[in-house]
Amino acid sequence: MLVLVLNCGSSSIKYQLLDMKSVDKSEVKAIGVVERIGLEEGILTHKPQIDGEFKKYKFSNHIPDHEAGISLIMDSLVNRAYGVIEDMLDIEAIGHRVAHGGEYFSKSVLIDDLVKERINKLSELAPLHNPAHMAGIFAMEKLLPSAPQVAVFDTSFHQSMPPESFLYAIPYEFYTKHKLRRYGFHGTSHKYVAEKACDYLGVDIEKMNIVTCHLGNGASIAAIKNGKSYDTSMGFTPVEGLIMGTRVGNLDVGALLFLMEKENLDLKGANDLLNKKSGVLGISGISSDMRDIEDESWNKKNPRATLALNMYHMRVKRYIGAFAAEMGGIDLLIFTGGVGENGPESREEICSDLEFLGFTFDKNANNGVRGSLKVLSTPESKLKVMVIPTNEEQVIASDTVKVLRSAVLN
């Protein structure tokens, strides 16, 4: 079954076309990303698998919105020179990553009118993400009206958190009235890397206390107890917790009220401040991309870049320590996401001073590891530290197949 996976973000669309041989066996036919949607010059990076090898093509053009971005993706998939399928109609199903599923969804679902209504309603809780997912769903409905679409939610995995983790200490009626609570995100990734690591180590996930660090542009940490999400750093929206590319992470709410008054910020101004102008970008004043920050810090000795790096690492350590305390210790610590997979220096820095938790960090094993599975703790360590490349698209594609199979059976 040919499944197109779409991860529509606020200004980008990541995609993969997978040939699903079975629920857990697949071949990637093409992979790519559309970036800078809505800006003067948009970019499509398209990597088709041709003769067993991934080739890379880059195109730039104004891409006004998600519909235009998706049209470009479809054109590339069927193009004679660099396409991988003959006809758009060869695509049998579409799997969408949806960031916010609220309390409505604890598992992946076939998209129908009610599902769309709910994803849309949740846009107010994930303004950077859900509107973009809706745009993707509508665009695909127009292009391939007969192909079923499945939604796979970041929040589903975290629905197992106990109320002690998911409630804020505000009057309880705001939870019942507005569903105001912590939801957590990146669940697909946290679940995938935890399962993958346990498979690799040959251990039973049900007996493990695991901390997974998904460190990307958006970043979150999860405490996974007996295979279930027990706590996580993101909350009601994807702004809580770690310091991110442009998101603030934890901030004293009193500081926000103070700034709104002093800087005359309205709701949009406050939202932009917390989501788009803060984090690593806000501290460094340079960039939201960790590669730029590392370059400025290491090669140009820029003190604000060094400060941003140090703050970023310290916040990750704080959560690992907190989650170890909540679960009564950790057996497995996992790094994933753009920074977690490709930043050996960040991993080493985060793990320094954490060895009291029960491991010795193997610097040689860590050095140079980018984008591949590796154990980073010494063999004697009680706590295992690992890098596991995430693969949200693979999970989304396999959930899409599972949901469609069970829909046929029912």
Ligand X SMILES: CC(=O)OP(=O)(O)O
d(CA 16, CA 73) in angstroms, rounded, equals 10
216 binds ligand ADP (CB under 6 A): yes
- Residue nearest ligand ADP, Cβ-based: 338
Instruction: Tell me if residue 154 is catalytic.
Output: yes
- Pairing verdict, β 93-98 and 2-8: parallel
d(CA 313, CA 309) in angstroms, rounded, equals 6
Q: Could you say which of 35, 154, 231, 296 contacts ligand X (CB under 6 A)? A: 154
Q: Confirm or deny that 181 is annotated as ligand binding.
A: no
Listed in sequence order, the DSSP H helices in 180-302 are 187-201, 253-262, 267-276, 279-284, 290-300
Annotated catalytic residue within 51, 154, 204, 399: 154
Query: Cβ distance 189 to 390 under 8 Å?
Result: yes
**Residue 56, burial from CB neighbour count under 10 angstroms (0-12, 13-18, 19+):** exposed
Q: Which amino acid is at 218?
A: G
Contact stretch for Mg ion (CB under 5 A) within 59-67, 214-222, 279-287, 361-369? 214-222
CA-based angle 109:20:188, to the nearest 5?
A: 45
Q: Confirm or deny that 333 is annotated as ligand binding.
A: no
Closest separation in Å from C-beta 181 to ligand X: 16
Q: Confirm or deny that 14 is annotated as ligand binding.
A: yes
| Per-residue mark of binding to ligand ADP, 323-362 (x: CB under 6 A) | --------------xxx--xx-------------------
| Per-residue mark of binding to ligand X, 205-244 (x: CB under 6 A) | -----------xxx-------------------x------
Closest separation in Å from C-beta 30 to Mg ion: 19
CA distances from residue 381 to 61, 262, 319, 341, 351 in whole angstroms, order as listed = 52, 51, 21, 21, 13
CA distances from residue 260 to 151, 154, 181, 255, 396 in whole angstroms, order as listed = 36, 30, 23, 9, 39
Phi-psi sector, 176: left (phi>0), alpha (psi -120 to 50), beta = alpha
Closest separation in Å from C-beta 186 to ligand X: 6
9 binds ligand X (CB under 6 A): yes
Q: Could you say which of 20, 31, 99, 125 contacts ligand X (CB under 6 A)? A: 99
d(CA 272, CA 130) in angstroms, rounded, equals 16
339 binds, among Mg ion, ligand X, ligand ADP, none (CB under 5 to 8 A by kind): ligand ADP
- Pairing verdict, β 332-336 and 209-215: parallel
Phi-psi sector, 272: left (phi>0), alpha (psi -120 to 50), beta = alpha
Binding positions for ligand ADP, 360-379, rule CB under 6 A: 370
Closest separation in Å from C-beta 245 to ligand X: 8
| Per-residue mark of binding to ligand ADP, 267-296 (x: CB under 6 A) | ----------------------xxx-----
d(CA 232, CA 235) in angstroms, rounded, equals 8
Q: Could you say which of 69, 218, 235, 389 contacts ligand ADP (CB under 6 A)? A: 218
Q: Which two tokens stand for residue 258?
A: 């103070």
188 binds ligand ADP (CB under 6 A): no
Q: Which two tokens stand for residue 3?
A: 């499944």
Q: Confirm or deny that 218 is annotated as ligand binding.
A: yes
Cβ distance to ligand X smaller for residue 95 or 216: 216
Q: Confirm or deny that 42 is annotated as ligand binding.
A: no
232 binds ligand ADP (CB under 6 A): no
178 binds, among Mg ion, ligand ADP, ligand X, none (CB under 5 to 8 A by kind): none
CA distances from residue 282 to 14, 247, 253, 328, 378 in whole angstroms, order as listed = 26, 9, 18, 35, 37
Contacting positions for ligand ADP (CB under 6 A)? 216-218, 245, 289-291, 337-339, 342-343, 370
Q: Residues annotated as binding site for Mg(2+)?
A: 7, 392
Q: Residues annotated as binding site for ATP?
A: 14, 214-218, 289-291, 338-342
Instruction: Give me the active site residues, please.
Output: 154
Contacting positions for Mg ion (CB under 5 A)? 216
Q: Residues annotated as binding site for substrate?
A: 97
